[in-house]
Each structure stands twice: as structure tokens, then as C-alpha cells.
Amino acid sequence: MTSTIALDLTADVAELTAALIDINSVSGNETALADAVEHALRTLPHLEVVRDGDAMVARTQLGRAERVILAGHLDTVPLPSVAGSRGTVPSEWDGSVLYGRGATDMKGGVAVQLALAAELTAPGRDVTYVFYDHEEVEASLSGLGRLVRNHPQLLQGDFAILLEPTDGTVEGGCNGTARFEASTVGQAAHSARAWMGVNAIHAAADILGRLRDHEPATVTVDGLEYRESLNAVKINGGTAGNVIPDSTTVEINYRFAPDKTPEDAELYVRNLLDGYTVVRTDAAAGARPGLNHPAAADFVAAVGAEPKPKYGWTDVARFSELGIPAVNFGPGDALLAHTDNEHVPAEAIRECLAALRRWLAD
């Protein structure tokens, strides 16, 4: 039986981030980190803590007029397979820059949550801290989704902040995402007598051409400009080197602005690929920015920087479905997430902590 790893929540928040990185928590392997986080939170008498699997909720109960949710996922994508990569486990310091898997996505943000949970015994707003598993995999496994199903009363709030990496700038809402399969059908034949068959891979050229020539839209939603993208991401077809292929499937990913529903997105793709069989295999709705909500507007003003749109999908969409305005705000550059040299400056983590501390204390 392994012992629970002790986390010092009073340590420098950058050093706390390093300690979190040192606990391997690739999706499906979050238990050791969840145990450490739970153990640390249960030492804080001002918080009520509830655990569900490898997800947990810790809340103040001060009777404040407003409740804010701070949320972050514990899991990471798999470790790099390239020898010599620094975005791995354990962490590594290079001067004041911290390298390691999850440095930006999103153990820096989780460290900020934990530091605030320990420090703010009497914040000006009630705070709910949410830590969850299985964010980096299919939506059906999401620990946040499980909390929504099993403990919806614990996720009530006026405003939510997801500590995904945003380089310290508020990013409102998020694009939706949908995946599709577009298929072509041919007729198999021996490749030496190709004229006897119909090549399904060649027939897919028209699908690829339509996608290549498609001009992605930029859609303004509540004052933020969301850039869409529609791309082929995988192609499958063929059975052998001497057989004319009789079927081909093109996988397509559509990142659509939050003014559209998944059904709107599906209709759009079907119209673009009219004449072909199109099947939607997965979809997640986006989230409008919600920056006109008083709590969101107050937070944006406190941060000071001009808010930006979130092009990728994040769990702000889950909070949006619950009727809770939500934004992304966390340390680190999102462009470094999942990379072989994933890293975050120590000062970026400290600045994020300071900004949230000031705002929550008011």
C-alpha cells in the first residue's frame, strides 16, 4: 500500500506546481494526485470537502452574497515519447522557467487553486474549488461531467473561472467542436485491371477539395471575435497494395463559434458536402462569453487586460449549460500545452495567484 504524497499548500506557488507535476497523472492515472489533493484540502477546517472518484469539490460556507467557482483538471495528456524532451515527469527548472508535463495544461492553474484554498479563510466571496479527472479524453469519462450528474447542488454558483492557460488574460466562452465522417463508395477490382473498378480514394478528392477551398468564418459573439476552422484530420481507405479501394472515409473536425448549436454545425457541414454520406460522430457545444454578467465584468475590470475569445473547447461550456457564466483565466501559454517542451515561467503562476487573490478578497 502506497502512502499519500504530502503537498505543502503554503509553499511558493511555483514550487507547488513543480510538486504537482512530479506526480504522474496522465488521464486514467489520476488517483495518486487526487489522493494528495484531497489530503491537503481536508487539513483546511474552513472548507467542506466532497470526493467522487478522482474528482472533488471544496467549498467555503460563509453566507456571502456571491459564490465563485474555481475549476481545474488534474489529468494530463500522455508523456512525450521523444528522448530528451523536457515536457515530461518529473519537473525540471531552467532558471525561473518550470518544465514538465502539465506545466501549462494545467498544473500551474491547479496550484493557484490550492494556494488560494489554503490562504483565503474568509474571502469576500464564497468560493467553490473544483478538481476533476479525465478532461483530456472523451467527454463521456469527464470527472466534471460526473460531478454534474452526481452532485449538481455542489456546483451552484454565480460565476465560474476555469484556470486553463491563457497567458494571464481573460478568455471568454469557447468554440464548440464536432467530428464527422464523410464517406465515398467505389468498386473493388485488381489494380492490374483498374478499369473494372471504381477508386473510392480518388473519389474523396472532391471532399478534400471542398474542405481545402472552404473559407472559415470569423463570428462576433457578445463583442468577441471567434475564428472558426473546418479541416480533414484523418483519412482511411484501401485494403491491399493490389486492390482498387471500394470505400474511403474522411474524418473532419469543425470548430464552430458559440452562436451555433451542434445541430447548426452539422447542417453546415452537410450542406458543404452535399452529395456525400456524412455522419456526426461527436459534438460538444461551445459557450458564449457571458462577459456582460456583473461578476464577469467585475473580474475583467480587475484583471485589466482586454478579454479575448477562446478558440479551443474547454469546460466553460459545461458551466454555461448549467446557466453559470464562465471564463478561462490561468497561467501559461496555451500554445505550449501538450508539447514536448511544455513549460511555464514561475512569475506567470505567481501573477495569476496575485490577481485572483486581490479579486476574491474584495
Name the residue with cell 484556470.
Answer: 163
224: nearest Cα among 190, 175, 277: 175
User: For this structure, is 75 an active site residue?
Assistant: yes
Beta bridge partners of 131: 56, 72
- Catalytic entry in 30, 133, 135, 164: 135
- Catalytic entry in 30, 75, 228, 246: 75
Give, in order, the Cα–Cα distances in Å from 284 to each of 69, 79, 179.
21, 26, 9
Q: Write b or e for each residue in 348-361: b if 16 or more Cβ atoms lie within 10 A of its Cβ, otherwise e.
A: bbbebbebbeebbe
Q: Rounded to the nearest 5°, which phi and psi values hold at 45?
A: -65, -15
Rounded to whole angstroms, how far apart are CA atoms 94 and 233?
35
Q: Which residues lie closer than 8 Å to 245 by C-beta, 6 or more apart?
A: 186, 188, 199, 200, 201, 237, 238, 239
Q: Which three cell numbers stand for residue 348?
A: 506567470
User: For this structure, is 133 an active site residue?
Assistant: no
Q: How many CA atoms lie within 13 A of 324 on its CB side?
A: 26
Rounded to whole angstroms, how far apart are CA atoms 337 and 327?
18
Name the residue with cell 506526480.
Answer: 23
DSSP helix/strand/coil, 221: strand
Amino acid identity, residue 348?
A: A
Any idea how long the chain is?
362
Q: Which three cell numbers stand for residue 232?
A: 480533414
Q: Which three cell numbers stand for residue 106?
A: 494545467
Residue numbers annotated as active site = 75, 135
